[in-house]
């Protein structure tokens, strides 16, 4: 049975800075990618992989008893790759090969090419259904692994998310946790302007989920919410994490609607790393 890694508070904070640094440097080096959508989920990824939650073993990435983390919002790949590298699935030095020909770090996650990636995603709305398949398989086999799926709030405009929400709620999948990275922005504008989804908590609640709303950048709140999720029985859990797109980099935070899918230009990199507190 793989074990969860539990780092202390100072370590966790240090990891958030490392992830942010990798997200910025890898996307700037690539000259494309989605740094801002990756930055909004850094604290969540940190607690999942290092805060005593996910049970995994980088030396045995397909262990049938491992917990699964599915990044449904596949454009957050730079964030996923950063946390997988820091967790030891592959060398951190490889992160700069993001999006380069020959690199397994494709623009969006590819299950076939990179250990630790649980699902090939990038066409939005599909991860929760896959998570349900894993969760049902775990119940059938009497394994106690848990399945975590992360979606974006804009992604919740996809109908498949609600097909899956209906199914998980009706089937009391308590080994399934959905995390909504609610950074409130999508490609062209704010979610509230494009196609509002509020109240999101009521929607999941109506489908039979237990719902918790937190500050997705508070390590304490994220940690407490994931503890809570594991204590819930007979219902799937949705954690709605309020986040900021581009969190930690002033330039991105100040114009969140403008930076979707855009890397920082090289001349902004040092200032961004200074913002993060991770000057290389």
Distance in Å, CB of 163 to other proteins, minimum: 4
Please, what is the Cα angle at 91 between 243 and 148, to 5 degrees? 40
CA–CA separation, 108 vs 121, rounded Å? 7
**CA angle 29–10–86, rounded 5-degree value:** 35
Which C-beta is closer to other proteins: that of 79 or that of 131?
Answer: 131
Closest to 181 (Cα-Cα) out of 61, 91, 70: 70
Residues in contact with other proteins by the rule CB under 8 A: 64, 110-112, 118-123, 125-126, 128-138, 140, 159-160, 163-164, 166-167
- The distance of closest approach from Cβ of residue 191 to other proteins in the complex, given in angstroms and rounded to an integer, is 21
CB of 258 to other proteins, least distance (A): 28
Question: What is the residue whose two structure tokens read 């109506």?
Answer: 206
Q: Which residue, 106 or 221, is less far from other proteins as judged by CB?
A: 106
Contact 119, 149 (CB under 8 A): no
Distances (CA, A) of 197 to 24, 155, 156: 30, 10, 8
Q: How far is the CB of 167 from other proteins (least distance, A)?
A: 6
Are 12 and 6 in contact by the 8 Å Cβ rule? The answer is: no
Pairwise CA distance, residues 232 & 210, whole Å: 8
Q: CB of residue 245 vs other proteins: minimum separation in angstroms?
A: 24
Q: Which is nearer to other proteins, 91 or 159 (CB)?
A: 159
Nearer to other proteins, 48 or 164 (CB): 164
Q: Which residue lies nearer to other proteins by CB, 79 or 125?
A: 125
SS3 180: strand
**163 or 189, CB closer to other proteins?**
163
Q: How far apart are CA 219 and CA 96, in angstroms?
A: 27
Structure tokens at 171: 């089937």
Separation CA 132–CA 135 (nearest Å): 5
CB closer to other proteins out of 160 and 218: 160
Residue 182, token pair as written in the block: 């609610």
CB 266 to other proteins: min, Å: 32
CB of 12 to other proteins, least distance (A): 29
């Amino acid at each position: 049975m793989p074990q969860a890694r539990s780092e202390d508070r100072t370590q966790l904070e240090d990891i958030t800075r490392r992830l942010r640094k990798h997200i910025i440097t890898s996307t700037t080096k690539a000259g494309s990618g989605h740094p801002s959508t990756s930055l909004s989920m850094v604290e969540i990824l940190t607690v999942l992989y290092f805060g005593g939650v996910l049970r995994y073993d980088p030396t045995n990435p397909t262990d049938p008893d491992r917990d699964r983390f599915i990044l449904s919002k596949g454009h957050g790949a730079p964030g996923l790759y950063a946390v997988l590298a820091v967790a030891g699935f592959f060398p951190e030095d490889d992160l700069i090969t993001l999006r380069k020909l020959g690199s397994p770090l494709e623009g969006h996650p590819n299950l076939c090419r990179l250990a630790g990636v649980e699902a090939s995603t990038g066409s939005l709305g599909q991860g929760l259904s896959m998570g349900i398949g894993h969760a049902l398989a775990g119940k059938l086999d009497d394994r106690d692994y848990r399945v975590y799926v992360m979606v974006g709030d804009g992604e919740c405009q996809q109908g498949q998310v609600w097909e899956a929400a209906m199914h998980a709620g009706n089937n009391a999948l308590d080994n399934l946790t959905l995390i909504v990275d609610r950074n409130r922005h999508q490609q062209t504008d704010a979610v509230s302007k494009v196609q509002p989804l509020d109240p999101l908590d009521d929607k999941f609640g109506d489908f039979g989920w237990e719902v918790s709303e937190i500050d997705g950048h508070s390590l304490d709140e994220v940690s407490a919410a994931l503890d809570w999720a594991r204590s819930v029985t007979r219902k799937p859990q949705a954690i709605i994490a309020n986040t900021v797109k581009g969190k930690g980099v002033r330039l991105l935070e100040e114009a969140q609607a403008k930076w979707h899918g855009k890397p920082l230009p090289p001349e902004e990199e040092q200032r961004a790393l200074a913002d993060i507190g991770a000057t290389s």
